[in-house]
Amino acid sequence: MKRTVEKMDKEKKAKLKKLLANVGDLGFRRRVIEIIESLGIKDGEVILDCGCGEGFYVMVITQLFLKVKVVAFDHDKPLLEKAKSWIGNNKNVTWVVGDIYKIPYQDNYFDKVILSEVLEHIPDDERALKEVRRVLKPNGKIAITVPNHNYPLFWDPLNWLREHLGCGHFSPDSGFFGGIWAMHLRLYYPQEIEKLVKRVGLKIEKMKLQTNYCFPFNHNVLYLGKQFYTKLPVPGSIESTMEKFEWQEAEKKGFNLIRAIFKIFQAIDSLNEKDIALNESSMGIFIIATK
């Protein structure tokens, strides 16, 4: 049976914009758009969201593409349960708790794979990427994103200054001060992730940097915003505008302080529309590779 290409037409682009309406992390927002537009998702395909976390990519894909199957895979069972609570019952989604070193699927199973902000958390990133390659079909595509070690000063000034003074970064376990290093075993320079991807036998189709311009202390602002939202009593009208899964709330009219702040961030982020040279600083590195 011939598959129909699910192109990002005007209708889908408009829907994607709505789905991203409550995403305050504009670096993450840019990643989502790049991944969805670059994978070229088709009817009938099976997609692996490897390290799906709270399941935001799962939600976006199942909202935009109604005739694909998604495997939401993560090692963290409570987090996967939280993702299921956001997505709800969907016959096109399979939830799997497992080990990235032993993905429970046969060789050449998936048409597309999303591996976004995962490799930097894994002790043996090469072994993990080889396993992901194993389950990808020949000519299948994988979208990989990792944090850039050459990150902008404004993204995380505290760690940037420490590293450039030769003092190293704050501990990844130190919360606010951990900054871009929080819960990360490593960051990648472009040449490092490029070599890793090629070493496991994947061919790079596209490689680009994302987000050079950002609000001052961007990473710290996001951290504090999350603490405010998750640990303090917040009025329901504000809470719904801070939760990225509550995208339907964005259609409600009227002034909202959080959205007004989003506008400031978005104005700065618009400067990132231009291509960023691989030797420039950026928040993240984006790769599309094929088997």
Check: CB of residue 259 under 8 Å from CB of residue 268.
no
Mean pLDDT of the 30-38 span: 94
Interior angle at CA 271, CA 265 and CA 274, nearest 5:
145
Better-predicted residue by pLDDT, 244 or 86: 86
Average pLDDT over residues 56-65: 95
**Tell me: the pLDDT tens digits for 92-128?**
999 999 999 999 999 999 999 999 999 999 999 999 9
Q: List 209's β-bridge partners, or say none.
A: 285
CB-CB neighbours of 103 under 10 Å: 21
Averaged pLDDT score across all residues of the chain: 86
> Could you tell me the CA-to-CA distances from 30 to 10, 100, 188, 254, 289 in Å, in that order?
18, 25, 19, 26, 18
Q: What pLDDT does residue 249 have?
A: 60
- Write down the pTM of the prediction: 0.86
- Read off the pLDDT of residues 45-55 as tens digits, 9 standing for 90 and up: 999 999 999 99
Percent of the chain residues topping a pLDDT of 70:
82
pLDDT at 36 (0 to 100): 95
Residue ranges per structural domain of the chain: 10-290
Structure tokens at 271: 């400067």
Q: How far apart are CA 249 and CA 239, in angstroms?
A: 10
Distance CA(43)–CA(242), nearest Å, equals 32
| Mean pLDDT of all residues in 19-38 | 89
Does position 224 have pLDDT exceeding 70, yes or no?
no
pLDDT greater at residue 117 or residue 182: 117
> Is 178 a residue whose pLDDT tops 90?
no
Would you say residue 239 has pLDDT above 80?
Answer: no
pLDDT at residue number 223: 64
Question: Sorting pLDDT into bands at 50, 70 and 90, what band is 238?
Answer: very low
CATH for 10-290 is 3.40.50.150
Closest among 30, 24, 23 to 56, alpha carbons compared: 23
pLDDT at 167 over 70: yes
- Using alpha carbons, select from 47, 152, 38 the residue that is nearest to residue 92: 47
In three-state secondary structure terms, 187 is: coil
**E-strand spans in 127-241?**
136-147, 203-210
State the pLDDT at residue 174: 79
Q: For position 250, what pLDDT does the model report?
A: 55
